[in-house]
Chain A
Amino acid sequence: MSQLQEMEKRLADGQREYVLDVKTQDMEINMGPQHPATHGVLRVVLTADGEVLTSATPYVGYIHRCAEKIGESVDYKMFLPYTDRYDYLAAMNNNVGYCLAVEKAGGIEVPPRATWLRMIICELNRIGSHLIAFGTYGLDLGAFTPFLYGFREREWVMSLFEKLCGARLTYSYAYPGGVINDAPEGWLDELLRFCDVFDKKYQEYDALLTRNKIFIERTRNVGIVTKDQALRYGWTGPSLRASGVRFDVRESQPYLFYDQISFDVPIGRGEMGTTGDCWDRYYVRMLEMLQCTRMLRQCVERIQADTTPGEFLTKLKNYRITPGEAYVGIDNPRGELGHYVVADGKDVAYRIKIRGPSFCNLSILPEILPGAMLADAVAIIGSMDIVLGEVDR
């Protein structure tokens, strides 16, 4: 009798769609913090009924490095290298976002050449970051080769950055007041060459993964995030746009010179399944890479036409910023990266708050993982393209 009642309760819950004739127990599995598919030290405690997940709880904070607190202890210039390190795949975007916030708080003028260079590095880094997203997503789903194809082009991006500022991963290139040095000779021409080659190589990615039948079957109608859900969880970036929301900070609240160039904002259309599924999230990133090369070409054209070489930094005696506060949100490869700077007249910020896109996007996991299969969990986490360095900061 009691067993029957238990069955009824389970059905009324809606948790189980079937009645079991044997007593089974859900298995609790720790996915991470050391797991190949969690893209860092994310720990998700899953309960699974066979291969079907019944609940998921993400635990974050394994590489918390007190980025915000450090921002309140060291001066404005010295915090710059720390911005490289929270989203290490998009260090350029982080630098730019932080510098924009400091400049807005302090009313610092930036020469136009520096602004164009900043746009170039932002979009170039977006390509680099999306290539990692593309490659590791293939890796998550068991396809090894796209990863190395992606790295082939990423290597060129890295070497372009190396020529620009000497570093390959943590650049600290943008600087409050401009950028640390001008583009070396021939660098802009090489950039144009890269754009041409990249557009060709993009076809290979499409053939290898995007249109692969198995890949489509693995990602379509998996991990669907509706428009409503995405907005409720504060999603931003390509993941939000994949759910059909046309929101891009570059378009809605243009910073730098994004209002002076033309670009499209790709949004998810549910081409292969439902709008907001894993395939859409993946494909929006792929389309964004093409937009990046389109923007890069325009930027190079404008920087060569409108600016004089050598004017790349407003030199300031000190960075003692008058009391005030500023928030600047930029669109980094994972979504809206916000920096909120409160200045109190010293050369150290009173408060720095960072709004990380990966952290906000990650919070949806407990809602969309239950009901998916274990292999889908990997596909879903991979499709959100999170960087744990930025989640934990």
Chain B
Amino acid sequence: MLSLLVTLGAAQQVGSTVENPETGILEGIFDGWFGDTFGPLVSAVLGLIIVLTLCSLLPMFWTWAERRIAGRIQQRPGPNRVGPFGLIQALADGIKLMFKEDIIPTQSSRFLFMLAPGIVLAGTFVAFGMLPLSPSVIVVNTHLGIYLITAFLALDAIGVIMAGWASNNKWSILGAMREAAQMVSYEIPLGILFLMAGVTYGSLNLVDMVAEQEGGLFGIGQWMLFRFPPFGFIGFLVFYVAILAEAKRAPFDLPEAESELVSGFHTEYSGIRFSFFFLAEYAAMFLLSGVAVCIFLGGWNLPFISGSFWRDNGMFGELLAVISMLFKSFILVFVMLWLRWTLPRIRVDQVMSFCYKYLTPAAFACLLAAVFWAETKV
């Protein structure tokens, strides 16, 4: 929790250099009461509470959805007993996990073992602060939007390595090493595509990026997906594969790999600490899908709706924007679940060669295309 506050405070400090900071969800509201120094921090804390709620509720919904979807794919019902359609199943599981014994192996490195789930969770949750759900529903509206998101998501890798190392289990350490290699590798195409977005939109702020994608043919012509054909589309595919790997989802779930590494880095974790990893994974899925929507799929922009609609209709417009944004992200997350229950797992050397042989060059091609296109336009 403390690390959350510190990192968010830091983000807020960076964010305070934004030239027009009136767009944050709670920004500026408390400045009159607490002054310029503490005002942003108070608004950040309150924003954080909203984000935390969202971060905890969405993964709960997604664990339920995943199990229902898996059931549908595998011709079985899935959880349908607790509450209507089994919706409260995730809550029941959460309660169960909370009351389970928290086992810490005696031979483990106790401090690191206890710290690791917190770091994984904090990294993912803080990154939510930079994800806009509508023109003004964003906790920290900073020019460094996606830069900070990648930075905080990289904490995830540290937490996982820490967990694997501290568990004092050979399978865990193998999982942790896989995670380290995978995260570092797949951040390269991801980073290159962030650059592509930066070059195209002239900003690293996700709100600005979405604003840049307003209008165009049928209201979707300016989406990155349809820009620089076919490079925008290729970029999206590369980005999606890379976020699958970043979120440790099948077919890139090597760090966990039940059938190979038992459970990989979280083999030794139980109870609420295990659920931290679980929550972080689902939160990361949603977060990265949200980023993909903001960069490639026009954020909350919908076909045939002018970009000013979201801003001119006050709360109503904002609400519709949130719904549109969530809906698009949900589609991407759904595809992740679908893939998980369909595809086998890739081998570790194939994961690496796939990244360096195909994804990275493709991402570079997209970046070059964006650069040349932007150049010729000017």
A37-B260, A373-B349, A378-B260 known; A142+B174 contact, CB < 8 A:
no
> Complex: how many Å from CA A376 to CA B350?
12
Q: Across the interface, do B348 and A148 meet the contact criterion of CB distance under 8 Å?
A: no
Q: Across the interface, do A142 and B74 meet the contact criterion of CB distance under 8 Å?
A: no
Q: Across the interface, do A376 and B347 meet the contact criterion of CB distance under 8 Å?
A: yes
A375-B260, A378-B259 known; A144+B348 contact, CB < 8 A:
no
A window 111-144: CB within 8 A of B: 138-144
> Complex: how many Å from CA A34 to CA B322?
47
Query: Interface size (A, Cβ < 8 Å)?
Result: 31
Please, what's the 1-or-0 string for B61-95, where 1 marks a CB less than 8 Å from any CB in chain A?
A: 00000000010011110000000000000000000
Q: Across the interface, do B75 and A217 meet the contact criterion of CB distance under 8 Å?
A: no
Kindly provide the distance from the CB of B78 to the nearest chain A CB, expressed in whole angstroms: 12
A145-B74, A212-B343 known; A51+B348 contact, CB < 8 A:
yes
Q: Across the interface, do B346 and A148 meet the contact criterion of CB distance under 8 Å?
A: no
The 4 closest A-B pairs by CB, nearest first: A142-B345, A143-B344, A141-B344, A148-B74
> Complex: how many Å from CA A149 to CA B76?
10
B251 at interface, CB cutoff 8 A: yes
Q: Across the interface, do B260 and A214 meet the contact criterion of CB distance under 8 Å?
A: no
Kindly provide the distance from the CB of A256 to the nearest chain B CB, expressed in whole angstroms: 35
Residues of chain B within 8 A (CB-CB) of A149 are 74-75
A215 at interface, CB cutoff 8 A: yes
Residues of chain B within 8 A (CB-CB) of A36 are 258-259, 262
Q: Across the interface, do A217 and B350 meet the contact criterion of CB distance under 8 Å?
A: yes
Q: Across the interface, do B250 and A142 meet the contact criterion of CB distance under 8 Å?
A: yes
B281 at interface, CB cutoff 8 A: no
Residues of chain A within 8 A (CB-CB) of B348 are 51, 373-375
A139, A152, A214, A375 — most chain B CB neighbours (10 Å): A375
A167 at interface, CB cutoff 8 A: no
Q: Is the interface of A mostly helix, strand, loop or mixed?
A: helix
Q: Across the interface, do A141 and B345 meet the contact criterion of CB distance under 8 Å?
A: yes
Residues of chain B within 8 A (CB-CB) of A143 are 342-345
A36-B258, A142-B250 known; A375+B347 contact, CB < 8 A:
yes
> Complex: how many Å from CA A212 to CA B70?
19
Please, what's the 1-or-0 string for A17-55, where 1 marks a CB less than 8 Å from any CB in chain B?
A: 000000000010110000111000000000000110000
Residues of chain A within 8 A (CB-CB) of B70 are 144
> Complex: how many Å from CA A127 to CA B218?
55
> Complex: how many Å from CA A27 to CA B342?
33
A364 at interface, CB cutoff 8 A: no
B334 at interface, CB cutoff 8 A: no
> Complex: how many Å from CA A373 to CA B260?
11
Residues of chain B within 8 A (CB-CB) of A250 are none
Kindly provide the distance from the CB of B205 to the nearest chain A CB, expressed in whole angstroms: 37
A27, A142, A149, A376 — most chain B CB neighbours (10 Å): A142
Q: Across the interface, do B259 and A373 meet the contact criterion of CB distance under 8 Å?
A: no
Residues of chain B within 8 A (CB-CB) of A139 are 259
B257 at interface, CB cutoff 8 A: yes
Q: Across the interface, do A145 and B260 meet the contact criterion of CB distance under 8 Å?
A: no
B341 at interface, CB cutoff 8 A: yes
Residues of chain A within 8 A (CB-CB) of B254 are 375
> Complex: how many Å from CA A147 to CA B177?
29
B347, B348, B350 — most chain A CB neighbours (10 Å): B347
Residues of chain B within 8 A (CB-CB) of A297 are none
Q: Across the interface, do A212 and B262 meet the contact criterion of CB distance under 8 Å?
A: no
Kindly provide the distance from the CB of A182 to the nearest chain B CB, expressed in whole angstroms: 34
Q: Across the interface, do B74 and A29 meet the contact criterion of CB distance under 8 Å?
A: no
B253 at interface, CB cutoff 8 A: yes
Q: Across the interface, do A214 and B344 meet the contact criterion of CB distance under 8 Å?
A: yes
> Complex: how many Å from CA A346 to CA B223?
86
A60 at interface, CB cutoff 8 A: no
A142-B259, A145-B342, A218-B346 known; A51+B250 contact, CB < 8 A:
no
11 inter-chain pairs at a CB distance below 8 angstroms, sorted by A residue, are A29-B171, A36-B259, A37-B259, A51-B174, A142-B345, A144-B70, A145-B73, A145-B342, A208-B342, A218-B344, A218-B345
A141-B259, A209-B344 known; A374+B251 contact, CB < 8 A:
no
B170 at interface, CB cutoff 8 A: yes
Q: Across the interface, do A148 and B75 meet the contact criterion of CB distance under 8 Å?
A: yes
Residues of chain A within 8 A (CB-CB) of B344 are 138, 141-143, 209, 212, 214-215, 218
Kindly provide the distance from the CB of B217 to the nearest chain A CB, expressed in whole angstroms: 35
Please, what's the 1-or-0 string for A92-103, where 1 marks a CB less than 8 Å from any CB in chain B?
A: 000000000000
Q: Across the interface, do A29 and B259 meet the contact criterion of CB distance under 8 Å?
A: no
Residues of chain A within 8 A (CB-CB) of B349 are 51, 373
Q: State which of A30, A140, A212 has its C-beta within 8 Å of the C-beta of B259.
A: A140
> Complex: how many Å from CA A212 to CA B346?
12
Q: Whose C-beta in chain B lies nearest to the C-beta of A27?
A: B170
Q: Across the interface, do A214 and B346 meet the contact criterion of CB distance under 8 Å?
A: yes
Q: Across the interface, do B341 and A144 meet the contact criterion of CB distance under 8 Å?
A: yes
Residues of chain A within 8 A (CB-CB) of B257 are 142, 375
Residues of chain B within 8 A (CB-CB) of A37 are 259-260
Residues of chain A within 8 A (CB-CB) of B177 are 50
Q: State which of B76, B343, B347 has its C-beta within 8 Å of the C-beta of A373.
A: B347
Q: Whose C-beta in chain B lies nearest to the C-beta of A36?
A: B259
Kindly provide the distance from the CB of A211 to the nearest chain B CB, expressed in whole angstroms: 12
Please, what's the 1-or-0 string for B231-269, where 1 marks a CB less than 8 Å from any CB in chain A?
A: 000000000000000000011011001111110000000
Kindly provide the distance from the CB of A67 to the nearest chain B CB, expressed in whole angstroms: 29
Q: Across the interface, do A214 and B259 meet the contact criterion of CB distance under 8 Å?
A: no
Kindly provide the distance from the CB of A22 to the nearest chain B CB, expressed in whole angstroms: 16
Residues of chain B within 8 A (CB-CB) of A214 are 251, 343-346
> Complex: how many Å from CA A225 to CA B350?
22
